[in-house]
Amino acid sequence: MESGARPVGSSCSSPAALSREYKLVMLGAGGVGKSAMTMQFISHRFPEDHDPTIEDAYKIRIRIDDEPANLDILDTAGQAEFTAMRDQYMRAGEGFIICYSITDRRSFHEVREFKQLIYRVRRTDDTPVVLVGNKSDLKQLRQVSKEEGLSLAREFNCPFFETSAAYRYYIDDVFHALVREIRKKEKELVLAMEKKAKPKSSVWKRLKSPFRRKKDSVT
């Protein structure tokens, strides 16, 4: 795991009840490696066989930047069509990992469909997202350049990683980055609310100034 993130053992002083739960959703076309990424992150194991039509949920408790975090990860099937079930987890999810395979240009084009699906359900472009180009170990089969991935991430204003689920390259970084994005958005929201709730002193200054001038003139 990367620096600043580690599993939380049973000896951790912070009780699980105090750990923040983060609901993360894996999105992307079928066969891009969403399940392999998730299983490598959870159990350091690369699955040899997996049915891409099955949706699975995984849980893991770790520490990120010395803060405990309970991750609830939903690994979705690879269809971008709108369904009632998808609407439900799109609303419940707090952050999304949108994956494509660098060996499959069609999966890269489908990224926009998944991003639009998030917006259609949540009606905001401010949802935490991480963009991932998987299968970086298959360079000889590459169809999508790293520059294209970076350009799309800049358009989405989100972090970007090229990963290899087979060799576990940058897998931890992806999930940790999404949690950091969620935390950052929460802090921005709190600051905005505090700023909005802060009383404006300028009104009182305008009210006090005539009294101050009157008092000064009496002497």
CA dihedral (175, 20, 128, 157) positive or negative: negative
pTM: 0.80
Angle between helices 34-43 and 171-197 (to 10 degrees): 90
Residue range 166-182: average pLDDT? 98
| Contact of 4 with 65, CB cutoff 8 Å | yes
Q: Is residue 4 very low, low, confident or very high in pLDDT (cuts 50, 70, 90)?
A: very low
List all residues 6 or more positions away from 19 whose beta carbon is below 8 Å from its beta carbon.
8, 61, 68, 69, 70
Residue 1: what pLDDT?
44
Residue range 5-10: average pLDDT? 46
The span from the CA of 175 to the CA of 13, in Å, is 23
Q: Is residue 200 very low, low, confident or very high in pLDDT (cuts 50, 70, 90)?
A: low
Could you tell me the domains of the chain?
Answer: 5-218 (3.40.50.300)
Residue range 201-208: average pLDDT? 58
Q: What are the backbone angles phi and psi of residue 35, rounded to the nearest 5°?
A: -65, -40
Q: What is the dihedral of CA 136, 139, 145, 149, to 10 degrees?
A: 0
Task: For the chain, give the longest Cα–Cα distance.
Answer: 91
The span from the CA of 151 to the CA of 147, in Å, is 6
Q: Is residue 213 very low, low, confident or very high in pLDDT (cuts 50, 70, 90)?
A: low
